Structures are given as C-alpha cells and as structure tokens.
C-alpha cells in the first residue's frame, strides 16, 4: 500500500475519534432533560456546573417540574454558549458546563428563581461563591422551593 493510501486510511480511522472530542463553544439545545441537564445538537448531554435541581425522573420531586419547565423556556431550541471550568465531563460522560443564553448564566438564573440549589462539585467551583450568594438571596425572599 502506498504511503498516501496509508495516510488516508489512518485519517479515516481517526476521524470518528476527532469528532467525539469536539468541544463546542456554542451549540443549539435540542432537548431539555430536566432542570440541570440538556442535550445539544452534537448529541452530547450537558450537565450544569455548580447547581442541583429537584428530579423529574424516576419520580417527580417538589419543584422538579417547575425547574424543568423554566430551563426549557430559557434554552430549548436556542443557541447557547458553553463555558468549561476544570473538568470536561462527569462520571456519566456528560459535558460539565456553565450555560449562557445571551448574557444570562442559566445555572445562576435557576438558583436565583429558587429552582436550584447551589452545590459545589470540586474542582469545578469558579462561580460557586456567586451561586451561593444567589441561593441565600432566594431563601431570604422565599423564591421557588424556599417558599414558607
């Protein structure tokens, strides 16, 4: 086999691996799984860094449906900017990202509305103090899950 054919064959073998490692800075949200997890147009799942929302699967927890619905309104079908902290993925293979729609940090907006808890997952803690301040304010003003 010629050197050129070997190079082409090697490239064809590596192409799927290169596609899998693609880390989009922007993407379109194709599906909202729950309050803190989405699917983007590459097919990858993205887990929001620094927050935890009530679950909708396998059982709906209080405020889980509200967190999912607000997340849908914020990002579904929209172009988002994805910002990495330290880790690329979690143990489930989901991308770990701060997610922005225009200038809105969606992770923070969900906390501000009382639909998510600020929850640190070291080493990804760049915005943790800000998220904790938003949670404290949501608690003080009885937003969302913090209602009396």
User: Catalytic positions, please?
Assistant: 47, 55, 94
User: E-strand spans in the chain?
Assistant: 26-34, 37-40, 45-48, 51-52, 79-83, 95-101, 104-105, 117-118
Report CA Rg, the chain. Answer: 18
Q: What is the token pair recorded at 83?
A: 């910002």
Residues 85, 98: contact at Cβ < 8 Å? Answer: yes
Contacts 24+ apart (CB under 8 A), 65-68: 66/115, 66/144, 67/34, 67/35, 67/36, 67/110, 67/115, 67/116, 68/32, 68/34, 68/35
Neighbours of 3 (CB within 10 A): 7
Provide the residue count of the chain.
148
């Amino acid at each position: 086999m010629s050197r050129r054919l070997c190079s082409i064959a090697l490239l064809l073998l590596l192409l799927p691996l290169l596609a899998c490692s693609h880390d989009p800075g922007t993407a379109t949200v194709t599906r909202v799984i729950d309050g803190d997890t989405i699917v983007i147009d590459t097919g990858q799942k993205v887990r929001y860094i620094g927050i935890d929302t009530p679950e909708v699967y396998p059982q709906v927890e209080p405020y889980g449906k509200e967190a999912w619905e607000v997340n849908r309104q914020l990002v579904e079908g929209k172009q988002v900017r994805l910002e990495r902290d330290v880790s690329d993925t979690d143990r489930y293979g989901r991308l770990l990202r701060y997610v922005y729609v225009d200038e809105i940090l969606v992770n923070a907006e969900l906390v501000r509305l009382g639909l998510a808890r600020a929850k640190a997952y070291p080493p990804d803690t760049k915005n943790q103090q800000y998220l904790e301040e938003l949670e404290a304010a949501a608690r003080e003003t009885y937003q969302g899950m913090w209602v009396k």
